[in-house]
Structure 1
């Protein structure tokens, strides 16, 4: 396994991030534990989760599964860089009640204690803001985070699904307070969705944030969707509606067919190339992979060792054109 620093920090993390979103909803506790064991054995030390994972009436269940894995001992917690998130409503029994979501100091305090309990740990390495809170000032957010750092409950703070200007606003506010600020941004970024290159990734690089792409296969679209469809295994799986019916779009289908044909000529697997491509991108710490099975984890691990030629990278750019940074992306 290869390791890198998380943004401008001294924290060393694996270049593959184990995403746990499927633990609970699609993968039972026993199999989830087996996947985490296999990941750790392979040198993956960076695990990502969120307080809302498990979803609906089972929200929090994923953190509980990770916590029960830590409880088995064997150095599991000490070897793991643990990341979780705060923002979504965690009201009991699906109840929507004020101050049980978003990023108020009250909810951050409440949410971190609940996550620590579910995760069976006394600290979180990377505490991430799952979404932008347009109603809470950054000074209030950083005041809450500074207290948690002083208490030893969290070590670093990161963002997820933030725009480039949000990253700038957040870290300028942190700098005024003498706080460390954001050290990572978790964003939607893959071959088929490159808009993060316009402003999010340049902002992250400028402020020293590690970029952690989520949905690296774009909901399965980049994992051999056309071939699977032809073989009767279904195309891109639905992921929040993002890839649902994507292959019905003739332009998208043509792109994916060209992508798969190109990789067939090189004897490469689409899903592994999609991950390996992200590892070549400036500012990227490592993509999040969310395996439902140990076999899917094995495929992700192979991507770390895959070297893509400049010829292949150029061909991929032709199929999935780069947006480039702003303002050049849309102006001269």
Structure 2
């Protein structure tokens, strides 16, 4: 998979205005060209983004140099919000129809990475995996991945594909940022253990981590995107934002830079590829975000951001950590007794 300057993916959820907000074609072109000029070649889209407009615009933009770009798109949700159940979900029927429609909109003969966008909690993993395998064998997709799936389903899929000789999953996609770290409980350790790449969406918490909602709390984006946007509603949120602004002042950077720089630090310390997806709506926003590549956080700053954003690992992880600590202490005590017997 390609990365911008070895670090980031270009997300295109804002390419088009089918949702009533987003980037017009001219602005989308500026964003694309800025990303490409920065060395980026991995682009993530989905059939549902702007009801298909995102794929159409991207198809036009990559046409002159298709093979240079790694194109990822998704199925599960359709382009028509009124479509019936057979045009949505993870089923083989929807997959086969969706991939043909995406290939046409993208004006390409193959998709580099094809995601199931979100678990529908009904379709058997065998059906999803066999569909992906057929598409890989047909050359319509090169690789497959699972986006917004629970860890147990991904782990089961990984083993099932290996045992049955089907095309294996190569990556997962999940929300992850200073505002949302619960993926650390199951998803990230699982991906590292299985050697799966991780692409992370909403690196700025839907705008929360930029600090703009403090200045403009009535931002209409909150109303349009709903659950995709985090808001400063708790004391913990306020502590996190205060910490981000403090670190930003120390580093001579913006809150946006600090939020992305923290993710890039996580990427450097991960045993697998961890790649933030940048979904800027304007070229100016992307330019401001790319400035994070020049920011290096020191150990103290990372520790403060970690502390302000940490989440409880919950059951059974905290019990395991406590047990391991006790076992290790017992082993040290036994060693002492043996040495002094």
- Give the alignment's TM-score, normalised by structure 2: 0.84
CA contact (8 A) 1:198 1:326 kept: no
Measure the CA separation in 2 of the matches of 1:235 and 1:313: 29
The structure with the greater share of residues assigned to helix is 2
Measure the CA separation in 1 of the matches of 2:234 and 2:313: 24
**Which residue pairs with 2:143 in the alignment?**
156
1:35-184 equivalences under 5 Å are: 35-54=31-50, 59-71=51-63, 73=64, 75=65, 77-91=66-80, 94-184=81-171
> What is the Cα deviation at residue 237 of structure 1?
4.5
The verdict on how the C-alpha distance between 1:160 and 1:263 changes in structure 2, with shifts beyond 3 A counting, is same
Paired residue secondary structure (1:13): coil
CA contact (8 A) 1:219 1:236 kept: no
> What is the Cα deviation at residue 325 of structure 1?
8.6
CA contact (8 A) 2:257 2:289 kept: yes
Q: RMSD of aligned C-alpha atoms?
A: 2.2
The verdict on how the C-alpha distance between 1:159 and 1:95 changes in structure 2, with shifts beyond 3 A counting, is same
- Aligned pair count reads 310
**Which residue pairs with 2:290 in the alignment?**
301
CA contact (8 A) 1:158 1:183 kept: yes
Paired residue secondary structure (1:34): helix
1:149-298 equivalences under 5 Å are: 149-225=136-212, 229=215, 237-238=221-222, 240-242=225-227, 246-281=231-266, 282=270, 283-298=272-287
> What is the Cα deviation at residue 298 of structure 1?
1.3
Measure the CA separation in 2 of the matches of 1:320 and 1:295: 28
Say which is worse superposed, 274-283 or 261-270, in terms of deviation: 261-270
CA contact (8 A) 1:125 1:156 kept: yes
CA contact (8 A) 2:143 2:170 kept: yes
Q: Which has the higher contact order (CA 8 A, sep 6+)?
A: 1
Measure the CA separation in 2 of the matches of 1:245 and 1:298: 23
Which of residues 4, 16, 29 is equivalent to 1:33?
29
**Which residue pairs with 1:7 in the alignment?**
none
CA contact (8 A) 1:164 1:202 kept: no
Measure the CA separation in 1 of the matches of 2:230 and 2:151: 30
**Which residue pairs with 2:3 in the alignment?**
13
Paired residue secondary structure (1:37): helix
Paired residue secondary structure (2:35): helix
Which of residues 285, 305, 323 is equivalent to 1:316?
305
Identify unmatched segments of 5+ residues in structure 1: 1-10
> What is the Cα deviation at residue 302 of structure 1?
2.0
> What is the Cα deviation at residue 279 of structure 1?
1.5
- Give the alignment's TM-score, normalised by structure 1: 0.86
CA contact (8 A) 1:18 1:289 kept: yes
